Chain A
Amino acid sequence: MATQAKTLTNSSVVGEQAAQSGPLYIVGQVVKYGLLILMTLILLGPFVLAFFGSFKTVNEVLASPPTLWPQNWQPENYSRVWNAQQASGDDFITQFFKAIGLGTSLFPRWLFNSVFLAAIHVVLQLFLCSLAAYAFARLDFKGKNLVFTLMLATLMIPGVALLMPRYFIINQINLVNTYWAVILPSAVGAGGIFLLTQFFRSIPKDLEEAAAIDGAGLFTTYSRVILPLARPALATLAVLEFQGSWNDFQNPLIFLNTPDYFPLTVGLSALKDNYTSQVNLILAASMFNTIPAILIFAFFSRYFVEGSTYAGVKG
């Protein structure tokens, strides 16, 4: 496998002139950073507002003109959200949480459910989608284009139309109200395959040809050549699928009955009944939902920041 490797670090040079000094350059920098900050304000603005809003009373959240800083801090909004619901079942996860002192609030359980479902989902997606993507991107087999188009076509069926038929199928195999009901149908999906296929297609073929000459089989090429090279793509897929699973609401709502199994999105929706009258609680709940996701993204983002390294064949 070891061809001569030349490690290149990537960084786009678009927008980067050879370093000039002088007033034009400084103005350019100011404008550039100014725009960056403006965009950050625009993109982050709603969340900052939501964050402060989650500490306000309903009256203040709805005040006009709107205020930024809460006049009366109400951290009890968060404890209300935390204690919103108590466990109804008694399985060993509930007992575990009780044992470590988190009481019977369902909130940590919901958080755990979300993390668990998302983690499994991501791992399955990474594995199974990359298999299929490799086939589409690199292998030539009869009916490839047809299957690819069919696969994309399945994305085009509005999900909402398949809700009842899918429930029927899940019920037939007796998986309703289990974690599997949420995991299995989405374990491998057209979206993920499509994404990885496009990325795989842009990986230069020379390495695989080198590997083939060295006698590598297809699965080995897949696992030892393509996968490592596709790190940015895999990281992208991981992040997106994590986000998708983390924010999934409709599926767990329909397929799960016991509140103990709900992920965070469904559990917190019980606060949503009067969301115009208890906006502050909803915002607090939203913070709980958003912050873990952003932390996970921050953790994985280093795959985007570091340039991808790939071994090139030195001609």
Chain B
Amino acid sequence: MKKTNRYLSMLSLLLVVAFGLMACDSNSTAATTPAANTAVAAAATATSAPAMAVATATTGAATDAKATATTAPVAPAAATDVPPAEVSDAACANAGTVDVSKVKKIAIESGATLRFSGWGNTSEQQVTREQLCRFKQAYPTIKVIYEPIPDNYESKLKTQISSGTEADVFYVNPPLTDLLVSSKKLLKLNDYMSEANMKKSDFFESLINIFSRGDDVYGLPKDFGSIIVFYNQDIVAKATGAKAPPADGNWTWDDYSAFAKSLVSGTGESKVFGTMHQPDYARWLPFALANGAKVLSADGKKSAINSAEAKAALDWYYGLYKDGTAGESKLVSAGWPGEAFGKQKAGFVIEGGWMIPFLKDSANGFNVKWSAAPLPKSPKGTYGDLLFTNAYSARADSKFPKAAAALVTFLSGPVNQEAVLITGFAVPTLKGYESNAYFTDHAAEKALYATASFGTVDYYGPATGVVQKTMSDAMNALYLGKVDTAGALKQMEDGINAALADI
């Protein structure tokens, strides 16, 4: 009957159309940019940050696990509406012009085409495109195809690598670096670096060492995040006896406690806490590290967390929670401390650079007058912090290794990093920017930048995820009253040792 013929003709029509479309394969031109206005309160310091407590507190606001799952930087869509752009190099106008003479170029292959992959939401992707535009100014003959991976970055990258189809240059985080260096998938960058007049020591040690093996460099740090204090200026002003923390970070744990106590107000449903002390390892560990604690032994084979220094930090951290000075986000019906801060239920919070766009974007509807300051020094007088960082790496078997290295060195080089700094998107991983004009009016970024010199990267070998979860689980048990601080530390120690044994 007619029906079969109808099905058949429909099918053939669709198949013809399908063939037609597929025949005209994409000839993606070089990364072009939308005319994005990223200068406005741009996106966050983009790193695999233990961002918001995506799912809940019991496992310790373990932001991290989710964050490392996608290793996605936490950058909400900053910019204002993006007007449609021409798909052309003219759109790169927003990227600013690069003083090409300042870029020490390296020798590259002719006719090179590179594929470049990274994670990132839409605003980070815009920022990346602008960086690629700048790259094109410095190396006009290299064609770059940008293939953002919006989600499940690790799954996709690992799948691609196992078939040899990964991009030439891509983002890596410390666990990925471990895996890829040991399976020899990454390009060694030392020679290219010297050609580009870059030295390993140009970068902060803790950041670049994570991506190096000895002196061999396999990844150049892209940006980093850490934990600092964000405080609500209105609440501080209204509170009696509250003094804003010093911009140079010269305050102690006792000052911190006093500051937090002075900001507490109200009771019950309308209580405003001094701060939020989540049962999340990433919020407590900075203090422990500042006090000299270590998570792993020097050889990385055993747990070292169950120490007097760590206990002192945990006692103090938990103590503020127990006496009601510090709360946790779920007590004020927030998903994470940043949300609590936005809703003005906490005088200050200890968070990272992702707070900046979160608070600044007026479309989010938070109207908080805030500023930032570094974490206090420990009773020993030393500073410490937790760093979250990622790098650019090139694949070892790229068809255009020199061009790939050129891309990596340019993106992490001084010219590009300074340009990125000025957009407010991230702070540099290179030393020497302490007195940059940008930091004069940007307390948060300044405080963040300073942490690179004394921070420790949040990485513990192949079992990192499990180690992190173990610490947060133990803190949860502590907060639920199942163990005391000594018991919690013992639980961490046992769990970490088990994790390390399971590799």
Chains A and B in contact, CB within 8 Å: yes
What residues of chain B lie closer than 8 Å to A257, measured between beta carbons? 115, 117, 147
**B125 within 8 A of partner (CB):** yes
Q: Which residues of A contact B72 (CB under 8 A)?
A: 273
Per-residue interface assignment for chain B, residues 84 to 96, with 1 indicating a CB less than 8 Å from any chain A CB and 0 otherwise? 1111000100000
Whether the Cβ atoms of B339 and A276 lie closer than 8 Å is yes
1/0 contact string of B332-357 vs chain A (CB within 8 Å): 01111011001100000000001000
Contact with B along A120-140 (1 / 0, CB 8 A): 100110110000000000000
Q: Which residues of B contact A88 (CB under 8 A)?
A: 28-29, 31-32, 87, 145-146
Q: Is the CB of B22 within 8 A of A223?
A: no
Mask: chain A, 170-197; 1 = CB below 8 Å from B; 0 = not: 0100001111100100000000000000
Contact B155 A254 (CB under 8 A): yes
Contact present for B81 and A79 (CB under 8 Å): yes
CA distance A164 to B158 in the complex (A): 9
Is B165 an interface residue, CB under 8 A from the partner?
Answer: yes
B150 contacts partner chain A, Cβ-Cβ < 8 Å: yes
- Assess the B363–A57 pair: CB atoms within 8 A: yes
101-153 of chain B: CB within 8 A of chain A? 115, 117, 120-122, 124-125, 145-152
Indicate if the CB atoms of A59 and B366 lie closer than 8 Å. yes
B7 and A94 form a contact (CB under 8 A):
no
B21, A90: Cβ atoms closer than 8 Å: no
The answer to whether A269 touches B151 (Cβ under 8 A) is yes
- Where chain A touches its partner, the secondary structure class is helix
The answer on a CB contact under 8 Å between B150 and A266 is yes
Instruction: Name the distance in Å between B135's Cβ and chain A's nearest Cβ.
Output: 15
**Is the CB of A288 closer than 8 A to any CB of chain B?**
no
B: interface residue count bin: 35 or more
Chain A 246-276 interface 0/1 with B at a Cβ cutoff of 8 Å (1 = within): 0001100110011111100011011111111
Complex contacts, B276 vs chain A, CB 8 Å: none
Q: Are A276 and B336 in contact (CB under 8 A)?
A: yes
Chain A contacts for B333, CB-based, 8 A = 64
Known contacts A270-B148, A272-B121: A277-B52 contact under CB 8 Å: yes
Which residues of A have CB within 8 Å of B7? 123, 126-127, 227
Chain A residues within an 8 Å CB radius of B159: 163-164, 167, 254
A127 touches B11 (CB 8 A): yes
Q: Is the beta-carbon distance between B54 and A276 smaller than 8 angstroms?
A: yes
Neighbouring A residues of B354 by C-beta, 8 Å: 274
B365 interfacial by beta-carbon distance below 8 Å? yes
Please tell me if A301 contacts chain B, counting CB pairs below 8 Å.
no
Q: Is the CB of A274 within 8 A of B74?
A: yes
Across-interface contacts of B366 in A (CB, < 8 A): 58-59
Q: Are A104 and B87 in contact, CB atoms less than 8 angstroms apart? A: yes
Q: Which residue of B lies closest to A62 (CB)?
A: B339
Give Cα A171 to B161, complex, Å. Answer: 12
User: Do A168 and B162 have beta carbons less than 8 Å apart?
Assistant: yes
The residues of B that contact A267 with a CB separation of less than 8 Å are: 150
Residue A211 at the chain B interface, CB threshold 8 Å? no
A82 to B33, CA, bound (A): 16
Among A103-122, those with CB < 8 Å from B are 103-105, 116, 119-120
What's the minimum C-beta distance from B347 to chain A, rounded to whole angstroms? 18
- Does B263 sit at the interface, judged by CB under 8 A? no
Q: Which residues of B contact A87 (CB under 8 A)?
A: 87
Residues in B neighbouring A163, C-beta threshold 8 A:
155, 159
Is B60 in contact with chain A by the CB < 8 A criterion? no
Q: Given A105, A176, A224, which contacts B84 in the complex, CB threshold below 8 Å?
A: A105
In the complex, chain B residues whose CB is within 8 Å of the CB of A120: 14-15, 18
User: Which chain A positions have C-beta within 8 A of B70?
Assistant: 273
- Check: B425 CB closer than 8 A to any chain A CB: no
Per the bound structure, the CA–CA distance linking A249 and B54 in Å amounts to 20
**The residue from B4, B121, B163, B338 contacting A271, defined by CB atoms under 8 A apart:** B121
CB distance from B345 to the nearest CB of A (A): 10
B-chain residues with CB within 8 Å of residue A177 when the two chains form the complex = 26
Partner of B85, one of A58, A86, A272: A86
CA distance A274 to B352 in the complex (A): 14
Q: Which residue of B lies closest to A272 (CB)?
A: B151
Q: Is the CB of A123 within 8 A of B10?
A: yes
Q: Mark B1-37, 1 if CB is under 8 A from A, else 0.
A: 1011001001100110010011011111101111000
For residue A104, which residues in chain B have a CB less than 8 angstroms away from its CB?
34, 84-87
In the bound assembly, the distance between CA atoms of A270 and B148 in angstroms comes to 9
In the assembled complex, the Cα of A269 lies from the Cα of B28 at a distance in Å of 21
Q: Is A26 an interface residue (CB 8 A)?
A: no
Complex Cα–Cα for A267 and B70 (A): 16
Question: Does B121 lie within 8 Å of A254, measured CB to CB?
Answer: no
Q: A84-B122, A90-B29, A126-B7 are in contact. Are A62 and B87 (CB under 8 A)?
A: no
Distance (Å) between the CB of B138 and the closest chain A CB? 20
With a cutoff of 8 Å between Cβ atoms, the chain A residues found around residue B115 in the complex are 257
The CA of A270 and the CA of B31, in the complex, are separated in Å by: 17
Not counting A123-B7, A258-B28, a sample of 6 additional A-B residue pairs whose C-beta atoms are within 8 angstroms of each other reads: A74-B363, A85-B122, A90-B28, A171-B164, A257-B147, A270-B150
Per-residue CB proximity of B283-307 to A under 8 Å, as 1/0? Answer: 0000000000000000000000000
24 A–B contact pairs at CB < 8 A?
Answer: A57-B363, A59-B364, A76-B363, A79-B81, A80-B81, A84-B77, A94-B87, A120-B14, A126-B7, A167-B159, A167-B160, A167-B162, A183-B18, A253-B150, A253-B151, A258-B26, A259-B150, A262-B150, A271-B77, A272-B121, A272-B151, A273-B73, A277-B52, A277-B74
Give A228 to B262 CA distance when docked, in angstroms: 77
B51 touches which of A178, A258, A269, A274 (Cβ 8 Å): A274
Q: Across the interface, which residues of B come within 8 angstroms of A124, CB to CB?
A: 11
Distance, CA A266 to CA B150, complexed state (A): 7
The complex places the Cα of A274 from the Cα of B159 at a distance, in Å, of 24
With an 8 A cutoff between CB atoms, is B213 at the interface? no
Q: In the bound complex, what is the Cα–Cα distance between A164 and B159 (angstroms)?
A: 6
Task: Decide yes or no whether B75 CB sits under 8 A from chain A.
Answer: yes
Q: Are A89 and B122 in contact (CB under 8 A)?
A: no
* CA–CA, A162 and B155, complex, Å: 13
B74 and A273: CB pair below 8 A?
Answer: yes
> In whole angstroms, how far apart are the Cα atoms of A281 and B121 in the complex?
12
Closest chain-B Cβ to A180's Cβ sits at a distance in Å of 6
Q: How far is the CB of A235 from chain B (nearest CB, A)?
A: 13
Cβ–Cβ < 8 Å partners of B27 in chain A: 89-91
Chain B contacts for A227, CB-based, 8 A: 3-4, 7
Q: Are A91 and B26 in contact (CB under 8 A)?
A: yes
On chain A, the residues within 8 Å of B271 by CB distance are none
**Residue in B closest to A220 when the chains form the complex, CB atoms:** B4
Asked if B413 lies at the interface with its beta carbon under 8 angstroms from chain A, I say no
Find chain A residues with CB under 8 A from B75 CB: 273-274
Query: Do the beta carbons of A164 and B76 come within 8 Å of each other?
Result: no
